[in-house]
Amino acid sequence: MMEEPLVAATTITSLAFAIGIVFGFVGNKTNFCTLGAVSDIVNMGDWSRMRMWMLAIAVAVLGTAVLGLTGLFDVSKSIYTGSKLIWLSSIVGGTCFGIGMTLASGCGSKTLIRIGGGNLKSLVVFVFLGIGAYMTMRGLFGVWRVRFLDSVAIELPHGQDIPSFIASAGMAPETALLAAATVIGGGLLVAALSSREAWRSDVLIGGIVIGSLTLVGWYVSGHLGFVAEHPETLEEAFIGTNSGRAESLTFVAPVAYTLELLMLWSDSSRVLTFGIASALGVIVGSALYALFSKGFRLEGFRDPDDLIRHIVGAVLMGFGGVTAFGCTIGQGITGFSTLALGSILTTAAIIAGAAATMKIQYWLMMREG
């Protein structure tokens, strides 16, 4: 890739904030929610919101392939496609996240959207999700994660993305990418739009816009923010990201980094980043829609049990999201767009964890009744 001119970190974070605003506005308007999608299927057999999520993934997969084929973004520059497949972390982390988001009434993105709408319960979830995530990155949970989960891995001779597997069999990398994206992205697109219920305006808008915002995120951090040779370090760099790699939308680690920035504001090494700016943007965008639609209202916990359930769920999401390298957006759309096996495995584990928890909750409710 040709060397790009060094851009200011404020440019990257400003664009990330704008991306977050659009995500929050559209997410609130269309009721985009992965937990809701799973719940609708489990409890009512309604696939509308799941089709919205599938459409977002399809747009992200196909669009990311286009970015790759045109040289605008290289998925190998992301955190998702490394040669070390931490499959146990993906399964355990994804399952914990799925359980957690069910207990906490929504995933990371939905938590931010609800905060914008005035939900005080989600504000508590935000804080404990951030604490759980930070403990998993650098604290007590992190020791367990590295020792017992991340150590169980498969070392691959190439990247863990599906096009790399195909290319290792002798196919040209560009052809492998085109083939994998067409089959998987195209298959998801057909599946998402195969029913009349998918052609509702909210499903189409939510799926297309959320999927497209993932692409914009990749372009901003992976192309505009990419510097082949940083003038100070003389090494490859990505401006304004916490990971030092290309990033797009994800809402677990950025929540932890947001809390860290607020608590250590006077520390000049703590700065606004792509992830933090996009997360804050989601809150603002959701608030704008809530105020515009007159849907803003304060909502609190109904009893102590409700509070406990949300705190436990938030901590599980923080632990699971960091352990599995992402959430329903970070892995379910952003990671999935790279066609990484770890992302696909995590996404399946999240859905399984959420669905199982819903079934157990229903069984307990019927037992009490």
In a domain, 310, yes or no: yes
End-to-end, the C-alpha distance of the chain in Å comes to: 63
What does the longest C-alpha to C-alpha distance in the chain come to? 67
In a domain, 345, yes or no: yes
Total number of domains constituting the chain: 1
**Burial class of residue 192 in the structure, from the number of CB atoms within 10 Å of its CB (0-12 exposed, 13-18 middle, 19+ buried):** buried
Distances in Å between the alpha carbon of 250 and those of 91, 108, 217, 279, 293?
Answer: 18, 8, 10, 8, 26
In a domain, 48, yes or no: yes
Q: By C-alpha distance, which of 289, 254, 215 is closest to 108?
A: 254
Q: Is the pLDDT of residue 231 over 80?
A: no
Q: Tell me the pLDDT tens digit for each residue of 254-301.
A: 999 999 999 999 999 899 999 999 999 999 999 999 999 999 999 999
In a domain, 74, yes or no: yes
Q: By C-alpha distance, which of 255, 243, 299, 242 is closest to 129?
A: 255
Q: Tell me the pLDDT tens digit for each residue of 128-175.
A: 999 999 999 999 999 999 999 999 999 999 999 999 999 999 999 999
Q: Is the pLDDT of residue 4 over 60?
A: no
**Reduced 3-state DSSP string for 93-104:** HHHHHHHHHHHC
Structure tokens at 183: 């089959």
Instruction: Identify each DSSP E strand in the chain by its residue range.
Output: 84-85, 154-155, 226-227, 237-238
Query: Structure pTM?
Result: 0.96
What CA–CA distance (Å, rounded) separates 177 from 220? 21
| Residue 194's pLDDT band (cuts 50, 70, 90) | very high
Distances in Å between the alpha carbon of 57 and those of 3, 14, 232, 261?
Answer: 30, 25, 37, 31
The letter for the amino acid at 48 is S
List the domain range (segments joined by +) for residue 43.
9-368
